[in-house]
Structures are given as structure tokens and as C-alpha cells.
């Protein structure tokens, strides 16, 4: 052992690895097998608040014992306890210390998760890094409300955006589903903006709160009504907003919404709708 150390030289330092793992929407059963294997091998888990902590709690409840130290860098809406630059530096430092690090991120690292920034920081520092995709809440949370983002004869495409983006530039009609993440604080403005386009004020909308969590709840309305409903029901983050005719397919939709004859329905031939809220 002494000879090996001498051969390496006094400047030799251990090198660890960073895994960017998508935790999914918060259900431990939706964590990928590769993600679980990374967690089991980790020395340190740097965890998000949403999704990630729920998965760790779920694994513990299922009897899965992880040996890793857990570092919480969770962010609250409007309050980032640990800035992104500090998270990047932490990942690099832990890897340079020879640790195997899992950066456990809610949903998928590359869907509004800043995973690309963390990957770049590790690569710039010469740290080995690998990405393990996760199931994004943009798809999985609507699914638990019975809403497919595409459906033959109803919707042929979907767009995922945050409510902080320039959503007035989102084109398409009700056959082009819009999924808004982090959108509760600006829900009223988003609804007004989308209603001005081809979707119209009576376009169906669903808000799915706390998907896979203890507060899971679905609210269905229209672009004209959803902001009032959200205020009346006290809707809170985290929540996913779905806009488009696919909302009509949800079992949570009111009876008057369930009017699609899927054998005949053609969104391109649908009657002209109101263009403004």
C-alpha cells in the first residue's frame, strides 16, 4: 500500500462522482431502478424539497436503508435557502473529496430543474457526472387526474412551460394542450393571456394540487373561471395546471364538460369560439 501511494505521488487526490437523479413526482414507486441503485451507492444525497424528500421518506417507509448523509437544499416558492451557485459548488467539493454524490431532484433534472447547469458545473471542474432521468410531474400529475396530454381526435401536441415564461407566445387551440408548472401565483394572468388566443375563455382547465401527496386535489373549470375557483378553494403550490380539451376526459370534469364524441370529434373542425376573455 505504501509503494502504491508513493507511485501516485503526494499531489494525488481522490475523485468522486456526481449522479443527477430525477426523483419523479414524489411517489417512491415511480423512482427508476437506476436511480435507486445510485441512491444505495451514494455517500451523500443532496436533496430537493419537492418530490425528492417524499421519495426518501417513501423508501424509508418501505424498509429501504440508505447509508448516505442527506443534505437538504430545498427551495420554497420565492425563497431559495441555498442559491444555485452554492449547490453547484457543493456538488463539486464533495466529489473532489472523493465522495459519491447523488443530486436528487424532483421530477426530471432537465425539465425546469436546472440540471443542465449542475452538469456543466461538474464538467467544468473535471468531475465525473451522469444523469438519471426521472418522471416529470408535467406528465405524471395530469395522469393521476385522468388527463392524457395527447389523445387521438382531441389533442395532437402539448407544450410544457412555466407561468413565468412568455406564455402569450404559445400558439395553438384547444387541441394543443398547455401544461403550466409553478403557475399558481400567476394563474389569473395566465388564464387571461391564454383566453385571448384561439383557445377562448371557455377552454377547459384543470389544476392538480400536490400530485401523489397527502393534499392531492383536482379542480376543473375554464379559463374564465379558474382563477376565481382557485381563490375560493384556497389552491396552493405545488400544483400543475392543464389547459385544453383533454381536460374533458378527466373523471373529475363536470357533466357538462363530458360532451366529446370521440368517434366524431375533430378539433380542427370545431365551431368558432370566443377569441377573447
Active site residues: 48, 75, 182
Contact 20, 103 (CB under 8 A): yes
Q: Which of 149, 154, 87 is nearest to 122 (CA)?
A: 87
CA 160 – CA 254 distance, rounded (Å)? 25
Contact 29, 110 (CB under 8 A): no
Contact 245, 174 (CB under 8 A): yes
Look-up: residue for cell 398547455? Answer: 178
E strands, 133-202, are 157-162, 176-181
C-alpha cell at 59: 423508501
Amino acid at each position: 500500500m505504501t509503494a502504491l501511494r508513493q507511485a501516485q505521488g503526494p499531489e494525488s487526490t481522490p475523485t468522486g462522482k456526481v449522479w443527477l437523479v430525477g426523483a419523479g413526482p414524489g411517489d417512491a414507486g415511480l423512482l427508476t431502478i437506476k436511480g435507486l441503485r445510485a441512491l444505495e451507492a451514494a455517500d451523500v444525497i443532496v436533496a430537493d424539497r419537492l418530490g425528492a424528500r417524499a421519495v426518501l421518506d417513501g423508501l424509508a417507509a418501505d424498509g429501504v436503508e440508505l447509508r448516505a448523509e442527506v443534505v437538504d437544499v430545498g427551495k420554497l416558492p420565492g425563497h431559495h435557502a441555498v442559491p444555485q451557485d452554492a449547490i453547484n459548488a457543493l456538488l463539486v467539493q464533495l466529489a473532489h473529496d472523493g465522495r459519491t454524490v447523488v443530486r436528487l431532484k424532483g421530477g426530471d433534472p432537465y425539465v425546469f430543474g436546472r440540471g443542465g447547469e449542475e452538469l456543466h458545473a461538474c464538467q467544468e471542474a473535471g468531475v465525473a457526472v451522469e444523469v438519471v432521468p426521472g418522471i416529470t410531474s408535467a406528465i405524471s400529475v395530469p395522469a393521476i387526474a385522468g388527463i392524457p396530454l395527447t389523445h387521438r381526435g382531441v389533442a395532437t401536441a402539448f407544450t410544457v412551460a412555466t407561468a413565468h415564461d412568455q406564455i402569450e407566445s404559445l400558439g395553438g387551440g384547444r387541441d394543443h394542450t398547455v401544461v403550466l408548472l409553478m403557475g399558481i401565483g400567476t394563474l389569473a394572468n395566465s388564464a387571461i393571456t391564454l383566453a385571448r388566443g384561439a383557445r377562448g375563455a371557455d377552454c377547459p382547465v384543470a389544476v392538480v394540487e400536490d400530485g401523489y401527496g397527502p393534499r392531492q386535489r383536482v379542480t376543473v373549470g375554464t379559463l374564465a373561471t379558474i382563477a376565481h375557483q382557485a381563490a375560493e378553494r384556497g389552491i396552493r403550490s405545488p400544483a400543475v395546471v392543464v389547459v385544453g380539451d383533454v381536460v374533458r376526459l378527466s373523471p373529475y370534469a363536470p357533466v357538462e364538460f363530458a360532451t366529446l364524441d370521440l368517434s366524431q370529434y375533430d378539433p380542427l373542425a370545431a365551431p368558432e369560439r370566443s377569441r377573447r376573455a
